[in-house]
Chain A
Amino acid sequence: MNDLRVVVAGHVDHGKSTLIGRLLYETGSLPQQVADRFDGADGSPEAAAFAFITDQLSEEQEGSFTLDTAQAHLRTAERVYTLIDTPGHREFLKNMVTGTTRAEAAVLVVDAAEGPLPQTYLHAYLISMLGIRQVIVVINKMDSVSYNHKRFAFLAQQLSTYLEKTGITPTTVIPLSAQQGDNVVTRSDRMPWCRTPTLAEALDDLIPMERDGDQPLRFLVQCPFPMDGRRAILGKVISGTLRPGQPLVFGPAAFETIAISVRIGEQETHAATAGQCIGAFLQDASGVERGSVGFVGDHAPVITDHVGARVFWISPQSLGVNDAVEILCGTQGRRGRVEKITAVIDPASLETMEADATHLDDSQIAEVSIRTDSPLCVDPVEIVPELGRFALLQHNRITGGGVVTGRVKGPCVAPEAAHALHG
């Protein structure tokens, strides 16, 4: 069975790292000499230091907080998980987002006594915005509310209602205590009212994301490469299938040619599929360069210099209207400007905090429109994720990111693709 990458998110101090430590310890996923350190005198583990398993930096251990994202491997009878720990402090949101963009599913951790707090909402909103659809909610520290059923039921209702509004139906909501070990791997007898699976069981119920093989071909060019006196085109098939003999169009310049042969390493292949990095030899490679996107003529991406998007900003310097940004979409890099910040969104209420704003601050989310200095290829994020999402850069550093939302204007070579985006 395939492995699964799961991000653990939530407000600071709600117990994310401790929960990961408990999962690793109880499933026997830790190396023996690490596990031995937690064995307490009475046979039950010393849970207080579980967070140190992923919080390995001395600053993290001294300060009892997570600074940067880390990953650990969890083994159950079903499969291997990559658990992605993330920091809950607002100022480390860039590290949280870095971890979350690698995940296929999420565990949202909420403190039973405190309930959802600002980073709970912000993280949940980002999880939804980044396209993660499988979310397990855990109400942690149930020991601190005397394993009270009413408190759990209230929070479960509150969080489910909120998540539904962001487009997520939680897989399950689990009452547990990472510190005490209730319902993490071992079913607790302290909550006889509880009908949910344990967290380990709920993880095993998740479904790995599969790429749909029927999508239109997109061949993302990384670089031309001189090979045996020819110009090989190195790149990745991000969607669909590329076969030798296939007529191709490379956007945004609409350069037409034919794929003569396709190689993976030194081997010729008769069909390169989504996810594979290949070398293609073309009849004419002169019009193809880094950032070109290969496709089949009647299934073109949208080619535009004007994108509408939902973005998150993760830089201490705010982003103002008319500010210059670099946009990186796949291997396409473009200089651009923020034309309009249509709406700054409040992740807790999901309402517009400020319409037609002048700037976007660190950790804020907004609807914006961006104009680029030359056209680029984009697709709806649900059809070709790699061409429906992008990073924003300033001074050679990623300072934000986002997803194309569909309000795309500008020159367009493919009405049917534009229709998909508008629709």
Chain B
Amino acid sequence: MERLEELEHRSVYIIREAYASFRKPGVLWSMGKDSTVLIALCRKAFLGTVPFPVIHIDTGRKFPAMYAFRDRWVKTWGLRLVVARNRTSPPGGGDYSDKLACCTALKTEALKQLIHDRGFDAIMLAIRRDEHGVRAKERHFSPRDMSFRWDYHDQPPELWDLFGAQADDNAHFRVHPLLDWTELDVWRYIKQEGLPVVDLYFSHGGRRYRSIGCEPCCEPIESEAATLDDILHELETTRIGERQGRAQDKEAAHAMQQLRALGYM
């Protein structure tokens, strides 16, 4: 089996295990390339449908193109969309200078409220090991306690494709079907499957976004890659890290670890 096919089927297997093992699963969709691949894999797992809610954590600060993309494909794919916003803090958080506090308030807190309100016990999300050294430590099924904490000191074992994850009254699980994928795998799969992506990923005037999130915290990279093939060629030759343009990763040493221990994606 070729690498992409193997990754695809293993991810589908994990998505179905989450569906079969939990009462109320949901999947996070940020409209970025990775979670768009995750939605496509969910559709593949369930023969063309997504039988659980698709959650958008809306910080109110995403690129306009991302909202347009969301609304278009929700309709085409017949997704059950749930939009989650932090009720307690004003849109934008008021202060972008403290990235850690802003991400925690607008993303982690919004997710926390949603899980509490709707009783989700498993949340699938499209993180990959190669994005960040701390994400490289993750499990496919990763428990979070009531206060959302990730206990990376004592993660449960996973053996082969046996995850043993079960719904528990006190917690929820993060499920990571794309953990084994690389950035290049994601783009190759997008090409192979003809999946749509937000236009921000393609070069306009010599610059493109390699990773997208909130508008104030994303910087485009210098790039002439205007097509999928250009992007694949660029990634096959570049040695620049993917999240170079993401502000929250660069705050301080171990910022990602702190964010994630508090329940960040």
- Residues on A lying within 8 angstroms of B by beta carbon are 2-3, 28, 30-35, 53-54, 56-59, 67-73, 82, 94-95, 97-98, 101-102, 211, 222-223, 225, 227, 232, 234, 236, 263-266, 275-277, 279, 290, 314, 328, 331, 385-386, 389-391, 393, 396-399, 401
Chain B minimum-CB-distance residue to A32:
B239
Given A31-B239, A232-B47, A57 and B137 touching (CB < 8 A)?
yes
Residue B98 at the A interface, CB < 8 A? Answer: no
Residues of B with C-beta under 8 A to A95: 155, 157
- Assess the A234–B46 pair: CB atoms within 8 A: yes
- Residues on B lying within 8 angstroms of A by beta carbon are 1-3, 5-6, 9, 12-13, 16-17, 19-20, 43-49, 51, 129-130, 132-134, 136-137, 139, 152-153, 155-162, 164, 166, 168, 180, 182, 239-241, 244, 253-254, 257
Given A95-B157, A398-B158, A265 and B47 touching (CB < 8 A)?
yes
Residues of A with C-beta under 8 A to B46: 225, 234
Chain B minimum-CB-distance residue to A291:
B20
A223 to B47, CA, bound (A): 13
A72 to B45, CA, bound (A): 27
* Smallest CB separation, A370 vs chain B (Å): 15
Chain A minimum-CB-distance residue to B153:
A67
Residues of A with C-beta under 8 A to B164: 328, 391, 393, 396-398
Chain B minimum-CB-distance residue to A53:
B133
Chain B minimum-CB-distance residue to A274:
B1
- Assess the B3–A3 pair: CB atoms within 8 A: yes
A366 to B202, CA, bound (A): 56
A95 to B137, CA, bound (A): 10
- Assess the A58–B254 pair: CB atoms within 8 A: yes
A275 to B47, CA, bound (A): 17
- Assess the A72–B240 pair: CB atoms within 8 A: no
- Assess the B16–A56 pair: CB atoms within 8 A: no
- Assess the A225–B51 pair: CB atoms within 8 A: yes
Given A54-B133, A70-B133, A277 and B257 touching (CB < 8 A)?
no
- Assess the A33–B157 pair: CB atoms within 8 A: no
A286 to B209, CA, bound (A): 50
- Assess the A390–B1 pair: CB atoms within 8 A: no
Residues of B with C-beta under 8 A to A3: 3
Residues of A with C-beta under 8 A to B12: 277
A82 to B49, CA, bound (A): 32
- Assess the A397–B20 pair: CB atoms within 8 A: no
- Assess the A223–B137 pair: CB atoms within 8 A: no
Residues of B with C-beta under 8 A to A385: 160
- Assess the A82–B180 pair: CB atoms within 8 A: yes
A265 to B49, CA, bound (A): 9
Given A57-B152, A222-B17, A401-B162, A73 and B130 touching (CB < 8 A)?
yes
- Assess the B134–A57 pair: CB atoms within 8 A: yes
Residues of A with C-beta under 8 A to B2: 2
- Assess the B157–A398 pair: CB atoms within 8 A: yes
Chain B minimum-CB-distance residue to A82:
B180
Chain B minimum-CB-distance residue to A329:
B162
A34 to B19, CA, bound (A): 38
Chain B minimum-CB-distance residue to A328:
B162
Given A32-B239, A57-B137, A222-B17, A277 and B157 touching (CB < 8 A)?
no
A53 to B6, CA, bound (A): 27
- Assess the B241–A34 pair: CB atoms within 8 A: yes
* Smallest CB separation, A96 vs chain B (Å): 10
Chain A minimum-CB-distance residue to B143:
A397
Q: Which of A101, A275, A279 contacts B1 (CB 8 A)?
A: A275
A71 to B257, CA, bound (A): 16
Residues of A with C-beta under 8 A to B6: 275
* Smallest CB separation, B2 vs chain A (Å): 7
Residues of A with C-beta under 8 A to B156: 94, 397-398
- Assess the B9–A276 pair: CB atoms within 8 A: yes
- Assess the B241–A31 pair: CB atoms within 8 A: yes
- Assess the A98–B159 pair: CB atoms within 8 A: yes
Counting from the closest, the 10 A-B pairs by CB-CB distance are A56-B133, A31-B241, A265-B44, A223-B20, A391-B162, A277-B12, A32-B239, A266-B48, A94-B157, A70-B136
Residues of B with C-beta under 8 A to A68: 137, 152, 155
Chain A minimum-CB-distance residue to B256:
A56
* Smallest CB separation, B240 vs chain A (Å): 6
Most buried by A among B134, B136, B156, B166: B136
A3 to B4, CA, bound (A): 10
* Smallest CB separation, A9 vs chain B (Å): 15
A73 to B49, CA, bound (A): 33
Residues of B with C-beta under 8 A to A275: 1, 5-6, 9
Residues of B with C-beta under 8 A to A265: 43-44, 47-48
- Assess the B157–A314 pair: CB atoms within 8 A: yes
Given A58-B257, A67-B153, A386-B160, A277 and B43 touching (CB < 8 A)?
no
- Assess the B47–A227 pair: CB atoms within 8 A: yes
A249 to B157, CA, bound (A): 33
A227 to B51, CA, bound (A): 11
A72 to B136, CA, bound (A): 8
A-B contact pairs, 21 of them (CB 8 A): A2-B2, A31-B239, A31-B240, A33-B240, A68-B137, A68-B155, A70-B137, A98-B159, A101-B158, A223-B16, A223-B19, A223-B20, A227-B47, A265-B43, A265-B47, A266-B47, A266-B48, A275-B5, A314-B157, A386-B161, A399-B157
